[in-house]
Amino acid sequence: MLQRIQTIYLLISAVISGGLIFVFHLWTTLNEVEFYAKEDLLYLGLFLGSAALAFIAIFKYKNRQTQFVLGRLNIILNFILLGLFVYRSLNLSGETYVSEKGIGMLLPIFSIVFLVLANKAIKKDEDLVKSVDRLR
């Protein structure tokens, strides 16, 4: 059933991870050059991997346990991405490379929020199905 609320949450997470990375910059360098995720293969791969996991989880609606596990893996992937951003911005001392942080560094946080909401809805559906199975 694609009309469930977790489908919307997963779709929003996929759009954030796959689409908004081309709109919002991650940071601005000293030369006032905006750095986007598409300029670094690691960041691009992690963002697109997160979007792909969310998109695959949408179509795993018949197996809620797999959908839940894919959501958890996606949350871990976004935490890794967020950790890389924190490492990049804090490890470099002073005004070496990252001059100004962009809103693109917050995209994994927004994605994590929607993934957690999707996992809560998946868990709620699973509990509902289990409670109905007990009545039979």
Domain ranges of the chain: 5-128
Reading the block at residue 59, the tokens are 């179509």
Residue 135 — very low, low, confident or very high, per pLDDT cuts 50/70/90? low
Which of 30-34, 51-55, 84-88, 97-101 holds the top average pLDDT?
51-55
CB contact set of 114 (below 8 Å; sequence gap of 6+): 9, 10, 12, 13, 16
Residue 131 — very low, low, confident or very high, per pLDDT cuts 50/70/90? confident
Q: Which parts of 14-136 are beta strand (E)? A: 27-28, 34-35, 100-101
pTM: 0.88
